[in-house]
Structure 1
Amino acid sequence: MKYRKKPVLVEAYQTKDPIDIETLEGTMHASPGDYIITGVNGEKYPCKPDIFEKTYEPIR
């Protein structure tokens, strides 16, 4: 079976500095240029720019 990700609105920003983020899986490191995403339940996690651009598109 194949599945498609449901359209979900998330907030995200691109970090300029290296930071550590507390996620549901523990502490994760974000490098400059990574996106920090706030998920549907308020959880935060980093995402590499190439994956972010393949997965998300801006809304207007």
Structure 2
Amino acid sequence: MAEALKFRKKPVVIEAVQFTGLDSYLSIVEWMKSVGDTHALANEVRFSTPIMLLQTLEGTMAANPGDWIIRGVQGEFYPCKPDIFDATYEAA
């Protein structure tokens, strides 16, 4: 049986904005465009259900109210659930 090794995630500073629903959608899109995201216009929010669809490196992903929109180290954007965000990140 192979021995499992332990690893620690390297400290990396990211930017993030919390998606709170329709009230935050436009400001998130403006933030994404201001840092050079060319897919910001392709993102959409579904009005019947307050979800934000994001074009990510892995394809289209949905963000629900409460999720964080993260700008990664390569400038990519993706959603992150609040519990994962809290367990992974702290204020810099």
Give the secondary-structure state (helix, strand or coil) at the position aligned to 1:33: coil
- 1:53 is displaced (CA, Å) by 0.2
What is the root-mean-square deviation in Å for CA atoms of aligned residues?
0.6
Q: Which runs of 5 or more structure 2 residues have no equivalent in the other structure?
A: 22-50
Structure 1-normalised TM-score?
Answer: 0.94
Give the secondary-structure state (helix, strand or coil) at the position aligned to 1:50: helix
Q: Are 1:14 and 2:47 an aligned pair?
A: no
Structure 2-normalised TM-score?
Answer: 0.62
Kindly indicate which of the two structures has a greater share of residues assigned to helix: 2
- 1:2 is displaced (CA, Å) by 1.1
Identity of aligned residues (%): 61
- 1:6 is displaced (CA, Å) by 0.2
Q: In structure 2, what is the Cα distance between the partners aligned to 1:7 and 1:25? A: 23
Q: In structure 2, what is the Cα distance between the partners aligned to 1:41 and 1:52? A: 18
Q: In structure 1, what is the Cα distance between the partners aligned to 2:6 and 2:57? A: 26
Aligned residues: 59
Q: Which runs of 5 or more structure 1 residues have no equivalent in the other structure?
A: none
